Amino acid sequence: MSETRPASLVGLRRLIFSADVPLARQRARFAAAVAGRAAPGVTREALVLGGVPVERWSPPGAHRDRTVLYVHGGGYCLGSPVMGRALASHLAVAWAAPVVAPHYRLAPEHPCPAAVEDVAAVLAALATRVVLALADSAGAGALLAATAARPGQLAAQVLVSPWLDLARQLAPDLAARDALVSPGWLAACARHYAREPRDPLASPLRGPPRALPPTLVVGTDDDLVAPDAAALARWPGVELHEWPGQWHDFALTPGASVAGAQARDAIVAFGSRVLGWGGGLSG
């Protein structure tokens, strides 16, 4: 049996993740809704890497030779690094690694491949570091597309509720079960971002399967884009861990559910296992 879902999800779907709401209003409401707190002791600074504005969150005692790259979701049309601050800053502390999070360009003002280009530019600027990437939703698509031409750039990656096929027909049963994202909103975002949704730059699953670095996919069976996670799990190097009865991007708010906290701990354990970064976040 799934957990009781936060009542706020209904409001988020109606007021933000709806094609009936003007995009400017979606962006403003989303910015206010996701203003979470960073983990204690983590400092924030604004930088420019590879010509792209980024935020860097640094924990006490961070190792200089390692970095977490966080690529946010938001359907390529809204969102910013702040949406993953709660999870990413906790990972920064657990792994003693700074987090770099790009403010990549958003659609429709900057359609595909703008997001991909910005993520690739930041990765190139981090070339001397050991990089573990964390990306959610559309950010996972931008990350996979950005690394397609440079397959050895990441040491490992964690993809949360990845949206990887903008041309996929959305399943009606999942549309009814996902408490956060509406099919109309997702389809509108795809139109804003991709002139050709079957282009692998917009939909990495449309490209040929390739060997990936050690990859953990965090998902749920009630996610509107759950088929994308299942399809990616058939690629070499990918392990899929699903929590039943959750919502799209549930792992970004580990304090909102038991499953979110479990997903956070599984991500920490993954980094420890594949890179030896250690840690062990709980509670």
Q: Contact, 35 vs 82, CB < 8 A?
A: yes
pLDDT for position 2? 47
Using left for φ > 0, alpha for ψ between -120 and 50, and beta otherwise, residue 276 falls in left
pLDDT for position 1? 35
List active site positions. 137, 223, 248
Residues comprising the chain, all counted: 283
pLDDT for position 282? 36
* Distance from C-alpha of 5 to C-alpha of 163, rounded to nearest angstrom: 22
For residue 160, the surrounding DSSP H or E stretch is strand 156-160
Domain map of the chain by residue range?
A: 8-274
Q: Contact, 82 vs 75, CB < 8 A?
A: no
Give pLDDT tens digits along the chain (283 positions).
345 566 578 778 888 999 999 999 999 999 888 766 788 899 999 999 999 999 999 999 999 899 999 999 999 999 999 999 889 999 999 999 999 999 999 999 999 999 999 999 999 999 889 999 999 999 999 999 999 988 889 999 999 999 999 999 988 888 888 888 889 999 999 999 999 999 999 999 999 999 999 999 999 999 999 999 999 999 999 999 999 999 999 999 888 889 999 999 999 999 999 999 964 333 3
Q: Contact, 251 vs 260, CB < 8 A?
A: yes
pTM of the model: 0.94
Order of strands, sheet of 99-102, starting from the edge strand that comes earlier in the sequence: 43-49, 52-58, 99-102, 66-71, 130-136, 156-160, 215-219, 238-242
Q: Which fold has domain 8-274?
A: Rossmann fold (3.40.50)
pLDDT for position 150? 85
pLDDT for position 280? 37
DSSP 34: T
Contacts of residue 71, defined as CB under 8 A and 6 or more positions apart, other chains included, come to: 101, 102, 104, 119, 133, 134, 135, 136, 139, 140, 142, 143
* Distance from C-alpha of 197 to C-alpha of 193, rounded to nearest angstrom: 8
